[in-house]
Amino acid sequence: MFKKILIANRGEIACRVIRTAKRMGIATVAVYSDADARAPFVQMADEAVHIGPSPAAQSYLIAEKIIEACKQTGAEAVHPGYGFLSERTSFAQALADNGIAFIGPPINAIAAMGDKIESKKLAKAAGVNVVPGFVGEIEDTEHAVRISDEIGYPVMMKASAGGGGKGMRLAYNEQDVREGFEATKREGLNSFGDDRVFIEKFILNPRHIEIQILGDQHGNVLYLNERECSIQRRHQKVVEEAPSPFVTPKMRKAMGEQCVALSKAVGYFSAGTVELIVSGADPSGESFYFLEMNTRLQVEHPVTECITGIDLVEQMIRVAAGEKLALTQDDVKIDGWAIENRVYAEDPYRGFLPSTGRLVRYNPPVKGWTGDIRGVDGVRVDDGVMDGGEVSMFYDPMIAKLITWAPTREEAADKQITALDKFEIEGLGHNIDFVSAIMQHPRFRSGELTTGFIAEEYPDGFSGAATSPDLIRALAAIAAFAATAEADRARQIDGQLGDELEPPLAWQVKIGDAIHDVAFEGEDVTVDGHSFDLAIEYTPGDRLVEAEVNGEELAVKLAKTRMGFKLTTRGAIHQARVLPASIAPLAAHMIEKTPPDLSRFLLCPMPGLLVALHVQVGDKVEAGQPLAVVEAMKMENILRAEKSAVVKTVNAKAGESLAVDAVILEME
């Protein structure tokens, strides 16, 4: 077994590998860029080596720096995590040339499966179902249009070396191909150094299901069941679960055996994932097609670990050291259900715009896990950030992964909702409310999933999860209770209410357009005449309130505002204006400020690079017309006109780096 390994990655996956290595008694080495100098994974490792500036292309992607760090520290092997160098044959070969073990698959398997075009040819030759499409070189946009017309719309354009949702465009017609083909090429070149694109038929009502593969260097290959990864946004996975609510035992066996056969055909060992697209329109569940094979650990690997009890990182290390797998296919079981939500630095209330900046507050529901695959009471957080840390524009926007395990799918989803309510993040936008809303959504609970789930269920964007009248009344009671505590503190500190005067026991709480009457009598509380059994503790300044409402647990994130509180729970934000009932009628006539109309400005929605500007002064534009393209966090974002107008002024030019809310252009 290795005595020391180096992790050629950063963030949560670096922390993840370090934890398992430490449990195995293996020393660890971290490498880090300028941006990560104070990151948790650097502190966790036994040794750390600085490898360059913040941009990945000048640090984490330079194989020579990784190899030099191995030589400097005496690391015998390298775990690449995912992304970065994990699927580069040149990196694996360079390690081999220097006598350093690669904790991953053999070089020939990476080469065979890493190229999406070549992997489809190999899969087809091996008798694996592949999606109909054009597998070959595409010359230019006109060629792409001709191919798409022949395949039949809708089609998917994909960068050959792509992954992680980058370098992908869905086209429903010729105009979509003309708009998206060059952008797909650019994303492929910028993210993966390869601008080749292939086009394939887009399967209607598709489910994204993947099979976890594990093999050793002695010819043994197993499948560790499946994961359902259908809930995606812009082809980036958001929610993953294992097992799939769609897959039957017969289907699981057919998929697994086919994926094992493909793996054996390329001499695969280590952990890997075969991704499949399944037609949800086929009730037999037999219409599944090969998409690609990811020759590395997947972001969503924890859900497989939770239901099988197998530490995949440990198995990768043991396989790389030459050990045989200590289990057979019959040993692989399904125990319970696991769900993973990816917590991203993006604002779902503003069209999922990327958000960067400092984590003013970061307090997960449980601390980063220390080895128990199922976490604490079935709640596990894989993260690589800390209070006061920064989410940088240089890397992926994922903050953490929240994983829950329970005996049933419904219980695992309920655990997600409760844990998300307790997950505190301040300082930047995040998607906690959004994934909580998904966990509560009737369609998710039914298991009727497709990759179009988010687009279909949130066509007009996200404004918060649906809320019941009972929950609103409970929030009104909590807001009034907090206001009582704040008033009592004011009385004690500065005598605002006088020495003798107690805080009011009757309040009016306005949430949305509704006004609720709240009254306290001893330990009883009534809201609009409805009695509540409310057990709550609140000290002025608390950011998280854990209450029991009629015997049910409710966690509410609370922030004080000028006239009340902002309450966040169950996937929605509620602004509560709280006033003593005695003065509330007077305050009802107060004029509330309305925000200025900024619709005539095209504002940069996030810090990024202005890649292209499609209009100039005097141009008439129509609603939905592309105006500019901004690149942020390795993704291109097309900014479109909100309404018909004429361009009055242009304030930026292509190639400029823009701050959030920078004015790109103004309409007349």
3-state SS, 27-70, equals EEEEEEEHHHCCCHHHHHCCEEEEEECCCHHHCCCCHHHHHHHH
CA distance 72 to 382: 29
The pLDDT of residue 172: 93
Q: Identify the band that residue 122 occupies on the pLDDT scale cut at 50, 70 and 90.
A: confident
Tens of pLDDT, residue by residue over 279-315, are 876 666 567 889 899 999 999 999 999 999 999 999 9
For range 215-221, the mean pLDDT: 98
**Class (C level, CATH) for 341-465:** alpha beta
Q: What is the pLDDT of residues 74-116, one digit of tens each?
A: 999 999 999 899 999 999 999 999 999 999 999 999 999 977 7
Strands 620-621 and 645-650 turn out to be antiparallel
Instruction: Inform me whether the pLDDT recorded for 32 exceeds 90.
Output: yes
Give me the pLDDT at residue 191, please: 76
Report whether pLDDT(588) > 70: no
| 4-103, CATH topology level | Rossmann fold (3.40.50)
Q: How far is CA 241 from CA 276, 277, 300, 339, 378, in A?
A: 15, 16, 8, 4, 14
- Distance between CA atoms of 378 and 437, rounded to whole angstroms? 20
- Which pLDDT band holds residue 270 (cuts at 50, 70, 90)? very high
Determine whether domain 207-335 maps to CATH 3.40.630.30. no
Fold of 601-667: OB fold (Dihydrolipoamide Acetyltransferase, E2P) (2.40.50)
- The alpha carbon of 589 is separated from its chain's Cα centroid by a whole number of angstroms, namely 44
* The CATH number of the domain covering residues in 469-586: 3.30.700.30
Between helix 107-114 and helix 116-125 the angle, nearest 10°, is 100
Q: Left if phi > 0, otherwise alpha if psi is -120 to 50, otherwise beta: which for 138?
A: beta
Interval 322-343 mean pLDDT: 98
Confidence of residue 443 (pLDDT cuts 50, 70, 90): very high
Report the pLDDT averaged over residues 358-378. Answer: 88
* Sign of the torsion formed by the C-alpha atoms of 221, 226, 227 and 228: positive
Domain residue ranges of the chain, discontinuous segments joined by +: 4-103, 132-201, 207-335, 341-465, 469-586, 601-667
Q: How would residue 176 be classed by pLDDT, with cut points 50, 70 and 90? A: very high
The CATH architecture that domain 132-201 belongs to is: 2-Layer Sandwich (3.30)
Distance of CA 335 to the CA centre of its chain: 25
Per-residue pLDDT for 370 more than 80? no
Q: Do the domains 207-335 and 4-103 match in fold?
A: no
Per-residue confidence (pLDDT) for residue 393, from 0 to 100 = 83
pLDDT of residue 284: 62
pLDDT exceeds 90 at position 171: yes
Residues belonging to the active site? 292
- For residue 449, what pLDDT is reported? 96
- % of the chain exceeding 90 in pLDDT: 69
The two structure tokens encoding residue 155: 């089609």
Specify the pLDDT at position 593: 57
User: Residue 215 and residue 221: Cα distance in Å, rounded?
Assistant: 4
SS3 label, residue 633: coil
**How is residue 84 written in tokens?**
């970065």
User: Chain centroid to CA 145: how far?
Assistant: 32
Give the DSSP per-residue string, 126-157: TT--B-SEE-S---SHHHHHHHHHHH-SSEEE
Q: Tell me, what's the pLDDT at 125?
A: 81
- Cβ atoms 474, 488 nearer than 8 A: no
Computed over every residue of the chain, the mean pLDDT equals: 91
**Residues present in the chain in total:** 668
Spell 350-379 as b/e; 16+ CB within 10 A means b: eebbbbbeebeebebbbebbeeebbbeebb
454-504: pLDDT as tens digits: 999 999 899 999 999 999 999 999 999 999 998 887 766 655 545 555 678
d(C-alpha 493, C-alpha 514), whole Å? 33
